[in-house]
Amino acid sequence: MITYKPFWHYCIDKGITKTYLHEEVGLSWPTISKLREDEYVKLQVLERICLKLKVTLNDIVEIQKGLGD
């Protein structure tokens, strides 16, 4: 299972708000909600986040083993 918890921890540490993500990074409100709920988002969205915030995928995404794995 993919989780974006590292992304939200990064945002909190850096003082990045959802409004900033929407206005400056260019994320739609539904995409921000998907990230919040650990739902699927396109790789292009993750790329945009990484380029704008100058982070890597490892900084914002974590793979967790599920119960069936």
Q: How would residue 34 be classed by pLDDT, with cut points 50, 70 and 90?
A: very high
How many structural domains compose the chain? 1
Average pLDDT, the chain: 94
68 within some domain: no
pLDDT digits (tens, 9 = 90+) for 8-17: 999 999 999 9
69 within some domain: no
Closest CA to 32 of 47, 17, 44: 17
Cβ burial, residue 21 (10 Å; 0-12/13-18/19+): buried
Domain that holds residue 53: 2-63
34 within some domain: yes
Q: What is the 3-state secondary structure (H, E, C) of the chain?
A: CEECHHHHHHHHHHCCCHHHHHHHHCCCHHHHHHHHCCCCCCHHHHHHHHHHHCCCHHHHCEECCCCCC
Q: Give me the pLDDT at residue 16, please.
A: 97
pLDDT of residue 19 exceeding 70: yes
Summarize the confidence of residues 48-67 as an average pLDDT.
92
Hey, what amino acid is at 1?
M
Q: Could you tell me the pTM of the whole model?
A: 0.88
